[in-house]
Chain A
Amino acid sequence: MGADERGYGIVKPQDYEFGEAGRGVRLDNGQEFGPITVRYETYGTLNDARSNAILVVHAFSGDAHVTGIHHPSDKHEGWWSGMVGPGKAFDTDKYFIICSNVLGGCQGSTGPGSIDPETRKPYGLTFPVITIHDMVEVQRKLLEQLGISSLLCVTGGSMGGMQALDWAVSYPDFVRSAIVLASTARLSAQGIAFNAVGRNAIMSDPAWNEGNYYDGSPPGRGLATARMIGHITYLSDESMRVKFGRRLRKREAYGYDFADLFEIESYLNYQGDKFVERFDANSYIYLSKAMDYFDLGDRYGGLKEALARTKAKFLLVSFTSDWLFPTYQSKEIVYGLMKSDKDVSFTEISCPYGHDSFLLETERQGEIVSSFLDTVNGK
């Protein structure tokens, strides 16, 4: 695939609002929840047969802004611009791409930081505890609104992969193919452990105040620490060694004082601080909890039984250096699909960037994804 340097250009975020108090979607906790706002973006054109729609689902800290820019002055494109755009693997010249911010998020869709219409105050911890399946239900409402009743493909990495799996199993007639990257059918104990430490960091920040901080200063230290821990799990030993090594920041030799800062420390501080500017601490708590709860087989009596429902053709990709969502977790899904004779391909890409590989490695992944989509699209 030749490198296509065309960007997508300007895209306008849109909002879909539906439901009213006590009506909207039925959540896994039994509650009918509404009203709900969904922030979404679309790219490319829906064809007349409405058969070229691809739903991209974002990962934990992502948003609806997959590719392109919002303003001519924007320096950076959306979070997956290496994979989505004209001439890219998810080719916006061929496909109609939709991405929405998840329920519980903080980048335009309804989440714990949104105003509860009944109290006229932010929900905070009165926001219902949500699941991956609840996110999918909200996306389905959006697609209904957009007049889409069949997806050529649903795709996502990490927490996005969980949603893609849930889609293919919950709505077998809706999903023609699924591309699941660096993901799992259930979060591992190790994954839950890291999420728990992140939540703990936030909740131990006095500014968190049981989730009521919206009229004051947010629990920035706690959230930054949570992000630092998260970031470590997204990298790998190799990528840290190559990128940072043991180099010091602004010093050549040790000063034997606490002004000594290793490059890796400085990087994590920067990532933590940057995250606080764009992310809500309560969303961190809710979304990480949703990931903890995720177990695809749970509602169907087992993983094999759940996967037997799907009619989608699958592509699963894992990465050699990903220790947060290791290869065996992707293989478990593949074997489950094989047991019910589903069409499934699996590849493990050699890549040093850890869990973040699915965002950073676009060459190999791009080739595989575009070949796969061509065959699903009937070429």
Chain B
Amino acid sequence: MESRQHISYDEIVNIVEPETKVLDLGCGDGELLHRLIHEKKVHGRGVEIEEEMILRCISKGISVFQGNLDEGLKDYGTKSYDYVILNQTLQVIRSPVLVLEEMLRVGKKAIVSFPNFGYFVTRLQLLWTGRMPVNPQLPNEWYNTPNIHLCTRRDFTLLCKQLGINILDEIALRNDRPLRGLPKNLFATEVCYVLERGTERNRGPQV
């Protein structure tokens, strides 16, 4: 997991404009924020739930808040950040819709990355073995996975449409490298979106 996350850090560091304000939800050991602060001179802040990770952030001099994302972001001001990042965390939170809505209230833009459950290897594992897929993207067994809200790339884009969220950019990776020339639904192992609140809420069925 560790090494893969570092690759997608590159993508996120590339996306973020210099000298902006960044809130990283589920910031882990603070490595992404550390890079953004040093390479992009951002004003960065993290939210993390695990004590051990808090200590690692503090050792890096990063401002970090110990909190639970499922409680929402009610104490953060509207449009108080340029970017709110949710990196490899969407699938572990209890209320993804609430958190997405909150990210786009607090941030002008949101950056969301997650493993694509529609990846063909994952599909074939379920089809052929009749068991829950376990692979480098989804390393845990069904009984000990923190992932409670896995989705496919197509599921996510559909949700964005329903919630009136515009997708400004999408980066699809296959085993840590940009995916080119192949259908993303099938061949991306991981996807990363830059999102913005749509001007008109074109909601589909209530989610």
Report A's interface with B, CB cutoff 8 A. Answer: 315, 331, 334-335, 338-339, 341, 343-350, 364, 367-368, 371-372, 374-375
Contacts and interface: CB of A to CB of B under 8 A. Distances in A.
Contact of B63 (A343, A348, A364, A367): A343
18 contacts: A315-B58, A334-B65, A338-B45, A339-B77, A341-B43, A343-B63, A344-B65, A345-B57, A345-B58, A345-B65, A346-B64, A346-B67, A347-B54, A364-B51, A368-B55, A371-B55, A372-B58, A375-B59
A24 B147 CA distance: 63
A308 B24 CA distance: 23
Secondary structure at the A interface, as helix, strand, loop or mixed, is helix
B200 interface: no
B2 interface: no
A220 B63 CA distance: 47
Interface string B41-81: 00101000001001101111111111100000001110010
In order of increasing CB-CB distance, the 7 nearest A-B pairs are: A375-B61, A371-B59, A335-B75, A347-B66, A347-B54, A371-B58, A346-B65
Contacts of B76: 335, 338
Interface string B173-202: 000000000000000000000000000000
A347 B51 contact: yes
Secondary structure at the B interface, as helix, strand, loop or mixed, is mixed
Contacts of B51: 347, 349-350, 364
A304 B43 CA distance: 20
Contacts of A343: 63
Given A341-B43, A345-B64, A374 B54 contact: no
A140 B67 CA distance: 35
B61 to A, nearest CB: 4
Contacts of B57: 345
Contacts of A372: 58
A114 B123 CA distance: 80
B102 to A, nearest CB: 15
A112 B35 CA distance: 55
Contacts of B66: 346-348
Contacts of A367: 55
Given A367-B55, A375-B60, 16 more contacts: A331-B75, A335-B75, A339-B80, A343-B63, A345-B54, A345-B63, A346-B66, A346-B67, A347-B55, A348-B66, A350-B51, A364-B51, A368-B55, A368-B58, A371-B58, A375-B59
